[in-house]
Amino acid sequence: MSLYLSAAAAFLATIALTYLLRPLARSLDFVDRPGGRKQHSGEVPVAGGLAMFIGLMLGLALLPVEVRPPTSFTATAFAFVCLGLLDDRLNLPPSLRLFVQVSSVILMATAGALSVQYVGEPFGLGLTIFSPPLALFVTIMLVVGAVNALNMVDGIDGLAGSMGLIALLGVAGAAVLGANAIVLGVAVVLAAAVAGFLVFNLPLGVNSSLRVFMGDAGSMLMGFSIAWMMVVLSQEPATPVAPVTLLWFAALPIYDMVSTGVGRVLRGQSPMNADNTHLHHLLLKKGYSVRATLAVLVGLALLWVLSGAVLDMVPAIPEWLSLVGFLIAGSLTVAIVRGMPERVAAIDRSAKS
């Protein structure tokens, strides 16, 4: 019952805060303006990330003390939100963002004694356990990768929130199977906060006058939280879900980040450079509306979540085969998006970037 109440509080608080923070964001110039890659119409307040964070913290505070996340989680989440807010306002250099992200993960890993040492049997060579230095490196790559994957996919209305919500529901299911009340609490409460934000961000038409973006603060909060929960679940002594299965829950943002980064490198550019080659950009260029683009990508994300769950539930399928399937699904995702037929309709210009 306390989980339901906490989730309801997070949902309602995020809705209220998002609405109340809109005018404040405008007055403080926390707005996203069209131009360049950003093709939306008008100045849109960037207040969703802070509203989601406050909603999350309120919901978690209503949970019993014994099932609240450790201080290392809340402190690192706060650090990522602050970094995101600064980036939303000042457009920080990528190198500075990366430095702060890596430093924050190192502090979290050392203060919370949490790193990716156990990874199951994804390579077909038996149980794999990383040494502490390698475990820390893998942890940094996982968390920073998740943070930036959710940030990069935040390009059209509703996309980043939907991807985060899908991943959170998958993680919540894994937490139920593993009887991990702490991870379940964070996943459900954050999912409720994200749902509250989506009331203002989904391209529904009726909410266009109340449109709000989550900004880097929101995408970094979701990315970090999802990665933290995946690390916790994967390191359980008797986790019922294989660590590789957790990757399927955030498959589409990962595929988008990797395909875009590889493409930039092949063109002789830095993988950190911004451009219009993300999966949603490809669909928009083909003439698909924002709603149609969102539907296609959400459908693919749900497909891969269900695929990962099915592979995990069949005892005869080894973990290495699930990893191979995950890699193949990435290639299929890019092929499906690139192979979508051209649409005659004009491109919907309400995309954020």
pLDDT tens digits, one per residue of 270-314: 777 778 889 999 999 999 999 999 999 999 999 999 999 999 999
pLDDT of residue 353: 41
pLDDT of residue 270: 79
pLDDT of residue 271: 79
pLDDT of residue 344: 59
pLDDT of residue 38: 55
**Predicted TM-score (pTM) of this structure:** 0.92
pLDDT of residue 41: 60
Low-confidence ranges of the chain (pLDDT < 70): 34-41, 237-238, 344-353
pLDDT of residue 39: 53
CB of 3 within 8 A of CB of 9? no
- Region of 29 please: left (phi>0), alpha (psi -120 to 50) or beta: left
- Residues sharing a CB contact under 8 Å with residue 169, sequence separation 6 or more, in sequence order: 187, 191, 305
pLDDT of residue 119: 87
pLDDT of residue 352: 46
